[in-house]
Structure 1
Amino acid sequence: MSISRPGRMPRRLAFACAATLTAVLTLSACAGSPDAAPSGSSSPVVEKDLAIAAVSGPNSLDPAQLVDGQQMFVWSSILDTLLAKENNTGELIPNAAESWEYNEDGTELTLKLREGMTFSSGDPVNADAVVTTMLRNKNTPGIVQVKYGAVSDVTAEDDLTVVVHFTHFDPQFLANLAQSTGAIGDPATIDDERTATDPVGSGPFTLDTTKTVPGSTYVLNKRDDYWNADAIPFKTFTVRVLQDPTASFNALQAGEINAGTVQTQLLGQLGDEYAIQPIEAQAVAYLDILDRGGEQWPCLGDQRVRQAINYAIDREGVLEGLFAGVGKVTEQVFSPFGQVYDEELNETYDYDPEKGAELVEEAGCAGESFQIPSTFLSTSLEPTFTQAFADIGLTLEWVPVPPQQAQSAHLSGDYPLSFQITGFNSDPADAASHYSTSGYSNPRGYTDPTIDALFETINTTVDFDAALPAYQELNAYAVDQAFEAPIVFVGGTWAARDGIVVIDDGRSVPTVRQFGVSE
């Protein structure tokens, strides 16, 4: 069986080149080949209709408000990103930008755009479009703005060359260009009202607004004039938002979708016509301790209480009982596919509620009660967490929050804790997200002298290999301080039918490129 792989382009050495540079070069030219170009299938593309289930649809399609994770299935089909991630490796590869290069100290990033790209309106995708989008992201309050915190300016050197200027090296920025940070908007319409619901994009699909029901079903039609159209074997791409795994499974069996994740206990009900792709780890599930400094909830500023919460959670029980054994227990948030992850750290907090109760008692916090948002992510785990907190002398009060308000509740400052399931990015991006003062998982901006010193090293060391010891120390310090309570790396099993196959093991990001066609 041969497979047509959408969006497949040549591999190139973006971060990998860092390991080969000498001290004299000091990473002044870690860049991709300017000759990078798509490699299409040697045989004609057999186009099919692809329909999948996703747990969430996009809150907005405005480039300044994009959310990563499974919302990417929709928006990345409409809005192309500057970079992409290769299936099964997560390596950064060219997309709208065919090459990139940092200067010596990482304060300038030069992006060379691919020639001949157009928006669905026919207007060219050029440096002006990228500059306009990036500066708008930087100046527009929203989800994406924080990722531009180190950006001082964005300029066009010529029609196909963009230079991003930084106040200091931002190690997470490059990898983020394969996600929301790198989406490109159309300058002619980006400020129009339609941008939030039906933007003009340069991606492989356009949104069929006549068949789309926001929040429920998104129907996308392929653009034949897309620059890499021959590598997209789907004439339509439908994303159905199905948060209930049983509903997703029923839709798969009924032929309403032809790809979706399936619970382990249901796999035996699928016949030989289904292609199965197991994924060991694609996200981390964790209790996020939001008030790490104890500003509003003093007990959470006590390391003993944070550690007690980690001791209280039966991770193996959660994995087997609530995630059907699909995944891997963890006490750290960094991806097991990355270089920062340390297996030994997973021996820090053996399940020991008695020890947790002792720590809470020592801290003088027995009987404390904490409110926490109750969202579609947490519903099935709430009784387990409530009991775990009770076992160590604490109380949880779950406050119902609608799905569309889950992220705003997390960021609001109104809650001391929240439950999150976050997909992996790169090690630098995950470090920033969880522990920097502008990180999504650290909305109160907590820091301390140790964190400051480690980020000072990280943010001034362009060579990732040279910065790796600082990342590893940050990971160990975060686990010891128990800034979060990581629980499991969430795995999953994709099942596909009708000649559709899943061609990624979870290391890429959720886009149509994860799917192919068997021939």
Structure 2
Amino acid sequence: MSAYRRRWPTLFAGPALALAGLLASCSSAPSDSADAATPHAGGTLLIAAGADPGCLDPQQTGQLQALDISRSLVDSLTAQDPGTGQIVPWLAESFTVSADARKFSFVLRAGVTFSDGTPVNSQAVKATFDALSKLPPNGAAAYIQGYTGTAVVDDTHFDVGFAQPNAQFLQATSTAGFGILSIATAAKPLADRCRGQVVGSGPYVLRSYTPNQGVVLAQRSEYAWPSSLATNKGAAYLDEVRFNFVSEAGARTGALSSDQAQVAENVQPTDQGQFAGRGFHLLVKMAPGLVPPLSLNHRGVLADQNIRMALLRGVDRGALVSTVFNEHVRPATSVLASTTPYYVDQSAKLVYDPDGARQLLTASGWTPGPDGIRVKDGQQLTLRWLIPAPLPPANEYVQQQLRTIGVNVVLDVVPPAQYVSRQSAGDFDLTAVAVTRADPDALRNIFSTKGANLWHLPPSQLDTYLEEQATATTAEDRQTAVTNAVAWILDHADTVPLYETAIVHGVSDRVRDLRATASTQLDLHDAWLR
């Protein structure tokens, strides 16, 4: 990675740049004639989105549906190139990192304003980071742990400090969760911010948010400070973007095929073929970060490592992918997706071994009952899987696979808002939480016992490995720490990786230059309609 104007240590360049081909977005969009390739201003883009995420504040939620919306409302200090992993300027025109990775110095672009007319200055950055550091340490707040403050030099120069080295912070500044908010927004009640009272400097503003119905974004005509990755250097081309919440996947694809929408988010594998040509194309982006797993609550029955390990061995990832998915999904080969910097193939720890799984259950006293479900002390081995609606088809297939080793998995499908509250309360045995982020520090966000620790893991050597990868000052040390952390997680069956996925959106050929960010959010700034 490299900075612009100023130089900072290129300690972490190697692994990210080596993934250039894997990190890139891909699309089957048709080629254009010269006239058709010229962007046109105006029009309304209609997006058939998933369920209402319930909160639009990027500091408070990491749900992809919410970030698809908020990414257009807030700008970040930096951006991450989806093709190379490089961190490049955005609101910050230059940046440097101290040799011990504890001090990050930034120089802001001049003339940038929030949508309320106030300036984007060092004081606003300080207010944003100060507020973020006070939130519970999950989501974006986890990436600012150890924060000692932002020292304002003047309106455009500031230094962000940490008590210990922070190898991941610069990449964090490229994410929507670190989008810079107005000083007034940083002081607002969190509930109000969830309802959309978020003022950023992005190319769009929130015109309306109707829960369970949709969101309308309106263009900012004065916008003129996109990231250095943008082709369009001025205001967004589209007058308006409408996200209509459509939880049922078939209804989303139906809206696209009947021209009631120009984008259908998260098209199911069975429907993707109809949008590969004939006036449509697919926007595909492999998701970096933590792969979709079975996330395991270590309280209750899953405190027993034998049972957790039986689940790890009892899933046939190859059969899952070939049965439920298509070429855009791969069997998991690690806790991390292969598109994540510092990934190492751990396939040997994820071999399908149903006989070994049964032996582990027997060793813990769980014997087959009359219907095949394991029983101990008169109780069936039943695990409740908490799932936000709608039910993904893969979950039923995993349920069937685990039944063959004697585990009864109950699919507990609830509305997204109820899902969040029950997950926070620990009211589940299983959930499935992936983290889309092009940095291995996503591991710490999920598995550190010093954070939210939703899975109730006990303190262990894993905490040390996670801290070591976050504080490493050489690429070699960080690689060692990441590899050690992943190996520990799999050796102790602290999670059950399932598959490596991609976002796949169906797009009308009327939509041009719609792309995905490095973290798979929709980048609407360059998009236009012909």
Change (3 A) 1:407 1:433: same
Q: Is the 8 A contact 1:56 1:71 kept in 2?
A: no
Distance in 2 of aligned mates of 1:88 and 1:178: 14
Q: How does 1:402-481 map to 2 (within 5 A)?
A: 402-420=415-433, 422-438=434-450, 443-449=455-461, 451-481=462-492
Residue matched to 1:328? 330
Cα offsets for 1:354-383 (capped at 9, x unmatched) = 221111111224433333313226553443
CA distance in 2, matches of 1:20, 1:385: 38
The whole-number CA distance in structure 1 between the counterparts of 2:6 and 2:314 is: 43
The answer for the alignment partner of 2:342 in structure 1 is 340
CA distance in 2, matches of 1:86, 1:255: 32
Q: 1:11 to 1:118 in 2, by over 3 A?
A: same
What does the per-residue CA deviation read over 1:53-91, in whole Å, with 9 as the maximum and x for residues that have no partner?
A: 332444323454232423112112112222222233343
Matched with 1:24 is: none
Matched, 1:252 2:228: no
**Residue of structure 1 aligned with 2:502, choices 491, 497, 511:** 491
Task: Supply the AA of the counterpart residue of 1:53.
Answer: A
Aligned 8 A contact 2:514 2:528 in 1? no
Q: Tell me, which stretches of 5 or more residues in structure 2 are unaligned? A: 15-36, 226-232, 367-373, 376-380
Moved more, 252-261 or 432-441: 432-441
Q: Does 1:395 align with 2:408?
A: yes
Q: 2:234 maps to which residue?
A: 230
Partner of 2:69: 74
Tell me how far 1:412 sits from its aligned partner: 2.1
Q: Contact 2:287/2:519 (CA < 8 Å) preserved in 1?
A: no
Secondary structure of the structure 2 residue equivalent to 1:427? coil
Match of 2:352 in 1: 351
1:273 is aligned to: 279
Structure 1 window deviating more from structure 2 (116-125 vs 145-154): it is 145-154
Give the CA deviation at 1:441: 6.8
SS in 2 for 1:371: strand
Q: Which amino acid aligns with 2:223?
A: Y
Post-superposition offset of 1:506:
7.0
In structure 2, distance between residues paired with 1:405 and 1:372: 14
**Could you tell me which residue of structure 1 aligns to residue 56 of structure 2?**
61
Cα shift at 1:44: 7.4
User: 1:262 matched to which residue of 2?
Assistant: 267
**Count, aligned residues:** 479
Is the contact made by 1:280 and 1:491 (CA closer than 8 Å) also made in structure 2? yes
3-state secondary structure, aligned to 1:405: helix
**Could you say if the C-alpha distance between residues 424 and 410 of structure 1 is closer, same or farther in structure 2, counting changes exceeding 3 Å?**
same
Residue of structure 1 in register with 2:244 after alignment: 240
**2:10 counterpart letter in structure 1:** C
Cα 1:44–1:177 change in 2 (3 A) is same
Moved more, 370-379 or 91-100: 370-379
Structure 1 residues 134, 506: closer, same or farther in 2, change over 3 A? closer
Structure 2 distance, partners of 1:384, 1:410, is 22
**Deviation string, structure 1 residues 425-484 (Cα, Å, up to 9, x no partner):** 1333222123322456754253312x2442353243223343212212222232222211
User: SS of the counterpart of 1:348?
Assistant: helix
| SS, match of residue 87 in structure 1 | coil
CA–CA separation in structure 2 for the residues paired with 1:129 and 1:409: 34
Q: Take 1:192 and 1:223, find their aligned partners in 2: how far apart are those partners? A: 23
Per-residue deviation, 1:116:
0.9
In structure 2, relative to structure 1, the CA distance for the partners of 1:278 and 1:108 (3 Å cut) is closer
Q: Quick one: distance in 2 between partners of 1:404 and 1:146?
A: 21
For residue 207 of structure 2, what is the amino acid of its counterpart?
D
**CA drift at 1:336:** 0.9
* 84 and 418 in structure 1: CA distance in 2 versus 1, 3 angstrom threshold: same
Q: 8 Å contact 2:172–2:178 — kept in the other structure?
A: yes
Following superposition, the deviation at residue 235 of structure 1 comes to 2.2
1:169 aligns with 2:168: no
Partner of 1:85: 80
Matched with 1:122 is: 117
Task: Confirm or deny: 8 A CA contact 1:89 1:507 kept in the other structure.
Answer: no
Match of 1:288 in 2: 295
Q: Tell me how far apart the structure 2 counterparts of residues 357 and 511 of structure 1 sit (CA, whole Å).
A: 44
Give the TM-score normalised by the residue count of structure 2: 0.81
Give the conservation status (yes or no) of the 8 Å contact 1:79–1:203: yes
Q: Which residue is equivalent to 1:160?
A: 156
Q: 2:40 aligns with which of 46, 55, 59?
A: 46
Q: Which residue of 2 aligns with 1:38?
A: none
**Structure 1: gaps of 5 or more residues:** 1-9, 22-42
Give the distance between the partners of 1:322 and 1:12, measured in 2 at CA.
Answer: 49
Change (3 A) 1:163 1:86: same
String of CA shifts for 1:329-376, please: whole Å, max 9, x gaps: 014221211343223x22323323222111111122443333331322
CA 369–273 in structure 1, closer or farther in 2 if over 3 Å, else same = closer
Deviation at 1:206, TM superposition (A): 0.8
In structure 1, C-alpha distance between the alignment counterparts of 2:51 and 2:157, rounded to whole Å: 35
After superposition, give the CA deviation of every residue in 1:150-181 in whole Å (9 maximum; x if it has no partner). 21222312111232221212333322222244
Would the aligned equivalents of 2:288 and 2:437 in 1 still touch at CA under 8 Å?
Answer: no
CA drift at 1:327: 0.4
Task: Return the offset for 1:126.
Answer: 0.6
Letter aligned with residue 330 of structure 1: A
Partner of 2:527: 516
The Cα shift of 1:489 comes to 1.0
Q: Supply the AA of the counterpart residue of 1:349.
A: L
Alignment partner of 1:18 out of 11, 20, 31 = 11
Judge conservation of contact 1:147–1:181 (CA < 8 Å) in 2. Answer: no
Residues 20 and 401 of structure 1: CA distance in aligned 2, closer, same or farther (over 3 Å): closer
TM-score, scaled to structure 1: 0.82
Determine if contact 1:433/1:442 at 8 Å carries over to the other structure: no
